[in-house]
Structure 1
């Protein structure tokens, strides 16, 4: 049996996340996913959603066999428990494959490190970025709020 590991923040799930996890699952028999703890996300803004909520959402996805919240201080603790054969990185994750492979080897983990391809979604208008989704929500809410605050004489009247 080939055990595959994927990891990420998974804040506000989108089709890019699903594609990444489908690609990872296709590389083995069992897919484990480590969801980063909010306090460990330092390379981008902190997640909007809590750790357990993000873990439950990831666990509900069809390609995922088991989802875990990362360790508070040592990223290798869950890796040692899962003991994957393959670690699959997202196409745009900030990790360097060679550096990660060396760190895994130093921790006695005999596994390969691979990188997923960019998402190949087959529908128009797919948004594949959490930050873009959040920006769109904020823009839409700001626009709607501004429209409600205009005096009635400035609001559009139906034709």
Structure 2
């Protein structure tokens, strides 16, 4: 059985997330998702929603067999627990594939790193980014005072 791991922040779920997780699931027979802890998100604004809520929403999606919140200190702890054959990166995730593969090898974890394709917008105004969704909400609903 080919076990796949996908990971991300998954703050406000959108069609890009659904595309990523569907592609990740197609890379094997079992999809495990690691949801980044709010306190560990340093490459962009931290998520608005709590860790558990984001995990619960991801776990509810059809392609996902298991979802968990990442380890508070060590990225490799859940990877070792899951023992994946493939780590699927999202189309626009900040990870460098080669650097991740090297770090996994250095940690004694034998798995392949693949990147999912991007999802094309299907209509004008479709938002495929949590940041853009938040920006739109603020632009349309927040007071400017």
Give the TM-score taking structure 2 as reference length. 0.95
Q: Which residue does the alignment assign to 2:47?
A: 47
Q: Does 1:31 align with 2:31?
A: yes
1:80 aligned counterpart, secondary structure: helix
Q: Which residue does the alignment assign to 1:108?
A: 108
Q: Does 1:140 align with 2:131?
A: no
Report how far residue 123 of structure 1 moved: 4.8
Q: Which residue does the alignment assign to 1:6?
A: 6
- Confirm or deny: 8 A CA contact 1:19 1:121 kept in the other structure: no
Q: Does 1:67 align with 2:67?
A: yes
> CA offsets, 1:78-124, max 9 Å, x none?
00000000000001111100110011111111100000111145455
> CA offsets, 1:10-49, max 9 Å, x none?
0000000000000000000000000000000000001000
Q: Equivalents in 2 of 1:124, 1:32: separation in Å?
A: 32
Q: Which residue does the alignment assign to 1:22?
A: 22
- Confirm or deny: 8 A CA contact 1:8 1:36 kept in the other structure: yes
Provide the aligned length of Structure 1 versus Structure 2: 145
Report how far residue 125 of structure 1 moved: 3.5
Q: Which residue does the alignment assign to 2:118?
A: 118
Report how far residue 139 of structure 1 moved: 1.2
Give the TM-score taking structure 1 as reference length. 0.87
Q: Equivalents in 1 of 2:26, 2:122: separation in Å?
A: 18
For structure 1, the residue ranges without an aligned partner over 5 or more in a row are 147-159
Q: Structure 1 residue runs of 4+, over 6 Å off?
A: none
Q: Equivalents in 1 of 2:107, 2:95: separation in Å?
A: 17
Structure of higher CA gyration radius: 1
RMSD of the alignment, in Å?
1.5
Q: Which residue does the alignment assign to 2:86?
A: 86
